[in-house]
Amino acid sequence: MSAQNTIHRMTAPQITARKGGEPIVCLTAYDAPTAAILDAHCDLILVGDSVGMVVHGLTTTVGVTLDMMIMHGQAVMRGAHKALVVVDLPFGSYEDSVETAFRSASRVMMETGCQAVKIESGSYAAETVRYLVERGIPVMSHVGLRPQSMNVLGGFRARGRTQAVEDEIIANAIAAAEAGSFAVVVEGTSVEIADKVTKAVGIPTIGIGASAGCDGQILVTPDMLGMFDRVPKFVKKYGTMKDMVETAVSEYHAEVTARTFPGEANTYKFK
C-alpha cells in the first residue's frame, strides 16, 4: 500500500484535542462486521462490557470476563481501521490494585491491538489511571451511573439527578482528568450536572444519558438500531432492526416450509 493511501487510525491525543470542538461520534461494537460498518462514521468505537447483556444475554455486566472482552476486542480490531478502539476492563479485573489493573490492561492491549482501555471511575480510580498512563496505556474514564456498581447503587437507574451526588460526580471526573485520562464518559446524569462536568474538566466528555452539551456522544449500537423492544429513556432508536430480522426470518420460514426455497437461482446444475 502506498503512503498516500495509508489509513491513519484516530489516536487518544487527537480525541483529547477535540475538547470544545467538533463533537466526537462514538458507538459500541462487539464483532468485526459491525465494526467495519461503524468505522466510516465513528471517531471512537467502544468494545463495551455491555456485550454481556446485548450479546450474551446476561442480566448485568458483572458476569463479563476479561477473556470475553479480549475475544470481542480482537473481532472489532479486525473490522475497524480508522476509529480509535477502546476496550472496557470488566468488573473484578482492575479494582483491587494498580498492579492488577496494569496486568489486565496490558493483556487487553497486547492481545487485541486496541489503542486504549476504559475503567469505571470511583473514588479509587485516580491512582489506577495515573499508574496505567505512566506505563503507556491510554485510559478513558467513566463517571455518573456506573453499571459495574449496580449492586451497590440499587440497579440501572440514573445516578446524577440530585444535588446530593453532583459534587461526587464532578470530583470523580476532575480526579480522572488530572490523573491523565484522555476522555471521560458521563452516564445517567441530569443535563445540569453533565454540563458542569464538561466545564470542569479539560478533557472531552462523552455523554450517554447526559447532555447534548457534552463534547461527544455514545450509545449501545444494538439499542439505537432497534434490536430490543425496551431501551433506556436516553436512547433514540435510529433503526428497526428487530422488525427487519423478524420479517426476514418469517419469510424464510414460509419459503422453506412451502419448498419454494431454494429456488433455481439458488441451486447448482450437474454439468
Give the active site residues.
187
Q: Cell match 503512503: residue?
A: 3
Distances (CA, A) of 7 to 1, 190, 228: 10, 38, 34
Taking phi first (over 0 means left), then psi (-120 to 50 degrees means alpha), and beta for anything else, what does residue 97 get? beta
Q: Reply yes or no: is the peptide bond before residue 262 cis, omega within 30 of 0.
A: yes
State the Rg of the chain over Cα.
20
**Residue 6 DSSP code:** P
Going by C-alpha positions, the residue among 70, 75, 137 that lies closest to residue 106 is: 137
Task: Provide φ and ψ at 83, rounded to 5°.
Answer: -70, 155
